[in-house]
Structure 1
């Protein structure tokens, strides 16, 4: 078979692989969104309280029984549970997230205002966590026994530190004692430093442990021995080979890392009084604001699906052998 004929044969196969990959990711994303919407729908109804009171302004609104009954009828809360469920799924399928009970605004508009703040916080925290993880991994594998033990200890401690405790310590040291940084997150760079560090440190500790193990395996592998035999320096071996291989598990865990950051944002945004999805989610759950809780959860799940797909692409780009199977 000629070269051109072989190329034409491989091209449809490549297109077919890409289409199957896209179809699998799309179907998986739809399933995740359905599962999240279903879990939120049934889970929030297990919380004690009357949703109609949340619509009327909360238990302290002193709404009359007639007003509560009217609110239940208007929002369909008096319908059977399965009817409410399928009605909500139909609205979500059309892109209608409803109106927030507590804020009296369309959920899509509320999310549009809050999402950029949380994405900036999570994105900076993920970047900082990656940098710290790579530094810790290199220190633990390149600094001798003492440096390795110190870096490994830092990884374990960082991974085990709770967000609320770390945030409290950082505020006490850098805001109360030293006065270097504001205790409340603002729209300035200084107001972002403490929240970003609080989110990034635990994640960096976990990623550092995973990257360290992979980096040590890469340094003992056959290709590293071959590169040293060709005269490759240790720095060149680290930059050209070890770092790429150690980054693979971190790339694969990026979707999980985003989920961890979004869940941590609930605590961090509340402690630092930063407006965002996490802080609004906590308030919405407390007030039984079903549309807002559903909207925040679906946006978070959608972001998780997208990041998982992008991390899969990045992993295939970093290691082309993954895409050959």
Structure 2
């Protein structure tokens, strides 16, 4: 068992490093072929809009290593990234590591809140849809997750701002100065998560309800509610755990939209600003860090899953 677990951890670690390296390489190459010159943009900003001189542009390109052959830039970038030297923002002039330290905590709070809220709502929807599967109410509720998945995140955010911030005035609509300011963004990000998880949980509960052990539980005299809570609902736990990696990736992607709509500082908004400003070092770091977070969560779930469920353990 210990040897199998060690091999599994080693395999996932190797695969994770390969994925992060592939993401780094892809983003590095994309940044080199994108239209627009970040050095020219930075020079324009420094000169107050006046056209920068060729000498100024050459000096800046030399400063950022953009005057060297592409393969030298790549090898230098890989070595610097591994050592923790992620460069300097072309726009702000601040070290990228310093810029990134300010972003993840806010995004982490948003993502964890959205995942927790989405899981609670998803369980409620799945339970209601499968408890009395032949009822009209259950059938109607069973369609709600599909609707939630299809709703555009930015549209949900704008509606929530209009209703609860501008209309009722009960919650702040923008910024991140108070804990209450995280409520609307978390709800917005939780909507597609609840839809996806609701579909997954409902499917797992329906499959479990058809298993013989459920009939045995009912034969002992247990009520339908007890059977559903103790025997049917737990069957949705493993699929939900397995989906955690996908959900984290979805939350990170959704944070780009949500943090922009609600004017919140975070990893998503930092990525959006870096893309808009052609700030290559910041863009590269944010995408790679997001990929690394996704890889770590997915690997942990993949390792823990077989330890939780014997059925998955036998096939791993």
Please confirm whether the aligned pair reaches a TM-score higher than 0.5, indicating the same fold: yes
The residue number in structure 1 matching 2:36 is 49
Distance 1:204 1:57, change over 3 A: farther
Task: Find the residue that maps to 1:100 and give its secondary structure.
Answer: coil
Indicate the RMSD between aligned Cα atoms, in angstroms: 1.7
- C-alpha separation in 2, matches of 1:61 and 1:155: 54
Task: Find the residue that maps to 2:103 and give its secondary structure.
Answer: helix
Alignment of 1:159-308 (within 5 A): 159-308=149-298
One of 42, 57, 69 as aligned partner of 1:68 = 57
Task: Find the residue that maps to 1:216 and give its secondary structure.
Answer: helix
The residue number in structure 2 matching 1:17 is 4
Unaligned runs of at least 5 residues, structure 1? 1-13
One of 7, 32, 39 as aligned partner of 2:26 = 39
The answer to whether the 8 Å contact 1:44/1:285 transfers is no
Shift of 1:238: 2.4
The answer to whether the 8 Å contact 1:136/1:151 transfers is yes
The residue number in structure 1 matching 2:103 is 114
The answer to whether the 8 Å contact 1:185/1:195 transfers is no
The residue number in structure 2 matching 1:6 is none
Task: Find the residue that maps to 1:269 and give its secondary structure.
Answer: helix
The answer to whether the 8 Å contact 1:195/1:269 transfers is yes
- C-alpha separation in 1, matches of 2:221 and 2:43: 75
Shift of 1:233: 3.0
Using structure 1 for the length normalisation, give the TM-score: 0.91
The residue number in structure 2 matching 1:102 is 91
The residue number in structure 1 matching 2:130 is 141
One of 16, 19, 37 as aligned partner of 1:29 = 16
One of 78, 96, 99 as aligned partner of 1:89 = 78
- C-alpha separation in 1, matches of 2:159 and 2:307: 40
- C-alpha separation in 1, matches of 2:69 and 2:206: 59
- C-alpha separation in 2, matches of 1:17 and 1:236: 37
The answer to whether the 8 Å contact 1:58/1:287 transfers is no
1:38-86 per-residue CA deviation (whole Å, 9 max, x = no partner) reads 1111112232111322443659463222111011112110111122112
Using structure 2 for the length normalisation, give the TM-score: 0.93
